[in-house]
Structure 1
Amino acid sequence: MSVPAAASEQARLDELAQYDILDTPGEESFDRITRLVRRTLKVPMATVTFLDGHRQWFKSREGLSDCEGDRRSALCDVTIRRGEPLIVPDTRADPRFTDNPLVTGAPHLRFYAGIPLRGEGGHNIGTLCAMDTAPRAFDGEDVAILADLAAIVMDELRLRLLVSTDVLTGALSRRAFRNEAGKAIALALRHRHETSCIAFDLDHFKTVNDTQGHAGGDTVLTGTVAACRDLLRQSDLIGRLGGEEFAILLPHTGLQAALSVAQKLRESIAAQRFEGVGGPFAVTASFGIAALSTAASDLEAVLQQADEALYAAKTAGRNRCIAAHAGAASNSPFGRRVLKAGSIVFNGGRSVIDCTVKRLSDEGASLAVIDSAGVPGRFKLAIEADNFSRFVHVVRKAGPEIDVQFA
């Protein structure tokens, strides 16, 4: 990638970051669009796709099981680079895609139609796609239908920026929670009053969806937030950060008091009973608690400490509350939130793995990859848009996440 191309890609990622859409839970407004694509155009697969530094991630998908994939093999990557609709009637007859792993292997794409999703700044942040396992024709009317639906996707994205509450649960949206919590923390720092953060998620929630259906899962999520609201003050903030992941900000509250609040919330959630397919059932949740301190003096840092404590609660057996040590530094050199395309370079430059840099500081970075299993303990991290290249060593691996410190 040339320097101008890297700068353009960074501008694209900056625009993508403004929508705060990556890794958010499913939303009916987007699912409705992929269903319409599938039914109207009579294709077995449809996706609303966004591309960060290393992957294509599906905000909504019909006919596909995976929620993300490697960007290098993504036909959607070709679409956003072209900046215009990409129609491939038969992938095996197109020399660009005959050897593509998505063509030669699952999901065995033979037909692809993609419309770029263009943001207000003019950058293509993703695609709306229609796909088939058999070749097919796609005329101008079909392209127009897909383009109209792509415009609706962008309308929904713009609407999300204006919506402050999660439609399902009534909790603050992830974006709204970060905005409001950031303001509350700035106020706490200015006036030097205590503030704490609780991160929690529901235990084995996938099992709930699998056994009770998504409607049953939605009932659990709604009931969970309602149970929490009954115990929280009006000044407290509760936000839905992911599918079953929530965060609470408690102004004027120290660590021990926040731990007491978390225990009450945990007990209230566990005491609920929901009507299920096989009779009443209950759920539990795990909690991590952290307080604003000199070691965690902004929202990202205190959230990270709470997340690490939540991870410890999960590891210890779930359905429990664990508080971060007062004043403890984060185990991860998170730094400030960013969204940058990066490269993991090793074997003397012969091996390269694409990554997305999620957080960056003077000491280290947090990266996301498709699979961290093949990443060595020491490598060179390159961020071409910043003309940046430094050796790092890995301090933590967790699934697709890698935390590194600079050598």
Structure 2
Amino acid sequence: MGYEAGHSAKLDACEQDRLAALDQYDVLDTPPEEAFDRITRLVRSIFGVSMSTVTLIDGHRQWFKSQQGMPNAETERAPALCNAAIHHPRPLVVPDTLQDRRFADNPFVVGAPFIRFYAGVQLRSPEGHAIGTLCAMHDQPKTFDNAQLAILVDLAKTVTSELELRTVATRDALTGALSRRALREECSRAISLARRHRFELACIFFDLDHFKNINDTHGHGTGGQVLRACVEACRGELRSTDTVGRFGGEEFVVLLPHTGAQAAMAVAEKIRGAIARCRVEAEAGPLRVTASFGVAALDGGDLDVDQLVKRADAALYAAKDGGRNNCQMWQTVEEVNPGLLRRVLKAGQITFNGGRSTIECTIRGLSRNGAMLQVISTADVPDRFKLGVLSDELYRMCRIATKRDTQIEVVFE
């Protein structure tokens, strides 16, 4: 193996170790949390900057666990200043980006959000992997002395401490439902017991309809009240042995042991009705909310947590396509990937147009027969392309089976 090939393989291995460290926190695409928002507010206040983020870097994007002054929740990884920062052994401080040849023509410097000053401190796992940054940014040049940098370093350590605490927290702070990590563990345990003792098990995936409109119109405080009220309404229809967990911003999963598909549909309908009857007082008057539901059950196959939740999620989208505020059952049809998709977090690359066009992606599920990919946008992705799993040195032609929002499922040819 030549130097360049060996060097590239080493870099790919380091990147996969970094992504594995990030994956342990199970934090990507989780809702905002006050513990992190408090830190980014402090950064803006202490240093007098217009922007601050807690940034996590996966295979294709920078995603903000917390953001102040930034217009988007995520951007492409390649041009991100935080992407440059994670490769530095020390904090990266750029007093004037236009005077730094590394960043003078960067699209985030010459275009929105027009970053002129940048200071980023790496967020490192206990093993030393840089999974992201805490950064301070401003739209004007700025000096940053050693005392200020020391404060930013301390705040970054507070971020990593909060991330570590999340790994042991079992409850979502806002709603009291199980945290996503705790929910996954409980689902795994319940599936193992159901297989061992041959009893039924079902899960319900539900999502509040048009919830973004509530936050945009009435504010996040009112949105939080709505989430809490809906979880309480859900609990009122469940047994003590059932479990409800918060899977995403307004997404929840209910686990129903000793329950078959039809019985689970009946429970979903009860929860749907209870949420529809909820009233939350707002300044403009009482708010009403509805939810859409997907139901899936163990069927004797070799399902894991991700596959069961994926089936319920597919049924949920069928409910949304059917007009929302209804319940749908996952239908037994030929699945996209007959081989079981195992949950992964790997850097990937989509190549097409004779190798002249590439799109970075993150691989979130993988099997012998296909993969689940996440991209910034599916708009420019062709129906057929070559997928590279960089850390595995795997390159396969594939075709798109389904795509939705930023997610693509592909079948290998």
Is 1:346 the counterpart of 2:352? The answer is yes
Gapped regions of structure 1 (runs ≥ 5): none
- State the AA in 2 paired with 1:347: N
Q: Is the 8 A contact 1:70 1:370 kept in 2?
A: yes
- 2:78 pairs with 1:72: yes
1:59 correspondence with 2:65 = yes
Given that 1:296 and 1:302 are in contact with CA atoms closer than 8 Å, whether structure 2 keeps it comes out as: no
Matches within 5 A, 1:166-315: 166-295=172-301, 297-315=303-321
* Deviates further, 310-319 or 343-352: 343-352
1:264 to partner: Cα distance: 0.3
Query: How is 1:76-225 mapped onto 2 (pairs within 5 angstroms)?
Result: 76-225=82-231
Q: Does structure 1 residue 362 correspond to structure 2 residue 368?
A: yes
What CA distance in whole angstroms lies between the structure 2 residues aligned with 1:298 and 1:126? Answer: 29
CA contact (8 A) 1:295 1:329 kept: no
Pick which of 9-18 and 371-380 moved more. Answer: 371-380
How far did 1:156 drift?
A: 0.2
SS in 1 for 2:135: strand
Cα separation, 1, equivalents of 2:315 and 2:258: 21
Measured against aligned partners, the alpha-carbon deviations of 1:230-289 in whole angstroms (never above 9, x if no partner) come to: 111111111001110000110000000000000000000001111112111210000000
Structure 2 letter corresponding to 1:102: F
- Between 1:371-380 and 1:168-177, the stretch displaced more is 371-380
Separation (CA, whole Å) in 1 of partners of 2:93 and 2:353: 38
Aligned residues: 406
Instruction: Summarize deviations over 1:82-126 as a string: whole Å, max 9, x none.
Output: 131000001010000111100111001111000000001110000
Aligned-partner residue type, residue 354 of structure 2: G
TM-score by length of 1: 0.98
Cα deviation per residue 1:370-402 (whole Å; 9 max; x = unaligned)? 111111111111112111111111111212111
The residue identity in structure 1 corresponding to 2:399 is H
Q: Which amino acid aligns with 2:344?
A: V
The answer on whether the counterparts of 1:44 and 1:131 sit within 8 Å (CA) in structure 2 is: yes
The answer to whether residue 389 in structure 2 is matched with residue 399 in structure 1 is no
Q: Is the 8 A contact 2:272 2:326 kept in 1?
A: yes
Q: For residue 162 of structure 1, give the secondary structure of its aligned residue in structure 2.
A: coil
- Per the TM alignment, residue 351 of structure 1 is displaced from its structure 2 partner at its CA by 1.2
The answer to whether 1:47 aligns with 2:53 is: yes
**Structure 2 Cα separation of the partners of residues 405 and 234 of structure 1:** 41
The residue identity in structure 2 corresponding to 1:135 is P
Query: What is the TM-score normalised by the length of structure 2?
Result: 0.97
CA distance in 1, matches of 2:353, 2:275: 50
Paired with 1:295 and 1:278, the residues of 2 have a C-alpha distance of: 50
* CA positional deviation for 1:331: 4.3
Could you tell me which of 3, 8, 24 is aligned with 2:14? 8
* Counterparts of 2:305 and 2:121, CA distance in 1: 36
Secondary structure at 2:101 match in 1: coil
Deviation, structure 1 residue 296: 6.1
2:214 aligned partner, one-letter code: V
How far is 1:211 from its partner? 1.8
Indicate the residue corresponding to 2:34 in structure 1. 28
CA offsets 1:348-378 (integer angstroms, 9 cap, x no match): 2111111000000111001011111111111
- Residue correspondence of structure 1 range 307-326 to structure 2 within 5 A: 307-325=313-331
Q: CA RMSD in A?
A: 1.1
Deviation at 1:339, TM superposition (A): 0.1
| CA deviation after TM superposition for structure 1 residue 147, in Å | 0.3
Pair 329,257 (structure 1): closer, same or farther in 2 beyond 3 Å: farther
SS in 1 for 2:167: helix
Paired letter, 1:105: G
Following the alignment from structure 1 to structure 2, what is the Cα–Cα distance between the partners of residues 309 and 23? 21
Structure 1 counterpart SS, 2:293 = strand
**Does structure 1 conserve the Cα–Cα contact (< 8 Å) formed by 2:76 and 2:376?**
yes
Task: Answer whether contact 2:36 2:65 (CA < 8 A) is retained.
Answer: yes
Give 2:142's aligned amino acid: R
Deviation at 1:300, TM superposition (A): 1.2
